[in-house]
Amino acid sequence: MPPPILAVFTKNRVNPAYDAARLVADRIAADAGARTVHYVPETPDDVGQQKVLVSEALAARPDAVLFNPTDDVAMQEDLARFAAAGIPVAVFINRMPGKVLTFVGSDDVAVGYRAATALILGLAGAGHIVALDGTPSARTARDRTVGLRRAVAENPGIALLESRIGYLQAAPARQAMAELLAAHPRIDGVWTANDVMAFGVLEALADAGRTAQVVGVNGLPAAIEHIERGRMLASVDFSAFNIAAIAARAVLRHLDGKPVPQEIMVPAELIDRSNCRRWKVPFAQRPSPAWDEIVR
């Protein structure tokens, strides 16, 4: 029999988290004697391009799909096309409604709350903060913002001055942060929905000759370096690497006739200077999580 083919959909090639997801999906598939085909929009997070890629994948008839939607609403009809074709799908990172084998991700409300709580503790419970929200079409970003606002509501000494959308990318976040700095003479802390936006924030702060405590999400290698050197306060290990690994294992288990839970939640730990050395291993050298490490 020919090797199973896994179609892997990720949102862009500008976020290193998705590079890590593709890398580990390739590794898990190869270890199982399968192979991957990657479908990535040329324009980051472009819904129309992802719809075209779904048609291309359907024409190629993969054995299973790992699907990270660019938009959890707009892509529902496309997800349904895989179900109609009888192709099992593991939706990963961004939850969306529809008929799927499983969803693999983390609790994004908790992730946003954990990052915000670390920022608030770093400010000793008092100060003015701003937020860089992610793309509104991304369920992960919306849920993380819920967590942020929950943490702020619990801490009356914290004033959330303003939020801007940074689109989960560095350049838009840098521009948004520059505008926030121009509008607010005092900003003590910055909450960002992912590390890539945190990097843009750090650039904007440097451009303006200002400082602030900054937190992010993903635990990217560059974020670990910033945390170690004191440029960032913390990140949360919402690991696209671990999530994609388990999603790949899930579809391969299904193809092998083994049971798969309808939902798999991957733990997301806070990373700060007290523990950041554990994350200093490059993604290419990190071990991929075993099934029973996550699914119990």
Inside any domain, residue 112: yes
**Residue 123 covered by a domain:** yes
Domain membership of residue 32 (yes or no) is yes
| In a shared domain, residues 112 and 94 | no
**Sign of the torsion formed by the C-alpha atoms of 5, 11, 12 and 17:** negative
The pLDDT of residue 1 = 78
The answer on 114 and 102 residing in a single domain is no
Whether 77 maps to a domain, the answer reads yes
Q: Tell me: do 102 and 221 sit in the same domain.
A: no
Say yes or no: 77 and 156 in one domain: no
Cα dihedral angle (278, 269, 161, 93), rounded to 10 degrees? 110
Residues 254 and 179 in one domain: no
Is the domain of 127 the same as that of 157? yes
Whether pLDDT at 102 is above 90: yes
129 and 196 in one domain? yes
The answer to whether position 118 is within a domain reads yes
pLDDT in tens, 151-167: 999 999 999 999 999 99
Confidence (pTM): 0.94
Average pLDDT estimate for 168-184 = 97
pLDDT in tens, 269-283: 999 999 999 999 999
**Which of these three, 219, 236, 253, is where a domain ends?**
236
Instruction: Look at residue 169 in the predicted model and tell me its pLDDT.
Output: 94
Q: How many Cβ atoms from other residues are within 10 Å of residue 2's Cβ?
A: 7
Same domain as 231, residue 134:
yes
Considering the domain architecture, whether residues 145 and 246 belong to the same structural domain is answered as no
Indicate if 99 and 58 belong to the same structural domain.
yes
Structural domain containing residue 226: 108-236
Instruction: Assess if residue 187 is contained within a domain.
Output: yes
pLDDT computed for residue 103 by the predictor: 98
| Count of CB atoms situated within 10 Å of the CB of 279 | 19
Average pLDDT over residues 25-51: 97
In 139-277, where do the E strands start and end? 158-165, 189-192, 213-215, 235-236, 263-265, 270-271
Tally of domains within the chain? 2
Asked if the structure places residue 271 within a domain, the reply is no
Q: Is the pLDDT of residue 36 over 90?
A: yes
pLDDT at 113: 98
pLDDT digits (tens, 9 = 90+) for 197-242: 999 999 999 999 999 999 999 999 999 999 999 999 999 999 999 9
Say yes or no: 117 and 232 in one domain: yes
What pLDDT shows up at residue 274?
Answer: 96
| Average pLDDT in the chain | 97
237-272 as b/e, with b when 16 or more CB fall inside 10 Å? bbbbbbbbbbbbbbbbbbeeeeebeeebbbebebbb
114 and 99 in a common domain = no
Q: Tell me the mean pLDDT in the region 62-87.
A: 97
**CATH code at 160?**
3.40.50.2300
